[in-house]
Amino acid sequence: MRKVTPRLQVGIEGNLAAEEYGPLLNWVVTPETTGAPMVTFGTSSDRIFSPKGEQSYYLTAAKGIPGTILAPYVGVSWSTWEDRLLFPAGVNVALAPAWDFMQMYDGRNSHSLVTFKTQTVNYSLIVVKMKHIGVSVGIGF
């Protein structure tokens, strides 16, 4: 990912196991404020285990709950794989400054992630569909 402006990131997503690469885009439409959630629009590969070349286009709202370590989100996404709307949701839990836990529902399946964050790289251990273990590495430039 490359931050083009403070609110726009673009990049390339690669799934080495599937030999698949595709576009990433994330635009913060409105940043989070005390009284309102952050709203983002973007695109990425459709979902884990989707066929090659399928894309998802999403609109997501996320808001940290004041006084807690919780930040839930809800969204709507267009799945080119299924040619229909999906309704993802989840919650991020800030375990420590460099560690997060996220429980997510992608509109079809549930996944859990534990992420270790550095200044430029994120490392995630993923439990896909609550039974398959995987890893993800995200690099920012």
Give how far the C-alpha of residue 116 lies from the chain's centroid of Cα atoms, to the nearest Å: 15
Instruction: Quote the pTM value.
Output: 0.86
Q: Which two three-digit tokens encode residue 122?
A: 């994120």
Residue 80 — left, alpha, or beta (φ > 0 → left; ψ -120 to 50 → alpha)?
Answer: alpha
Q: Predicted confidence band at 45 (pLDDT cuts at 50, 70, 90)?
A: confident
Residues 6-39: pLDDT tens digits? 999 999 988 777 788 899 999 999 999 999 999 9
**Res 49: pLDDT:** 76
Q: Are 1 and 138 contacting, i.e. CB atoms less than 8 angstroms apart? A: yes
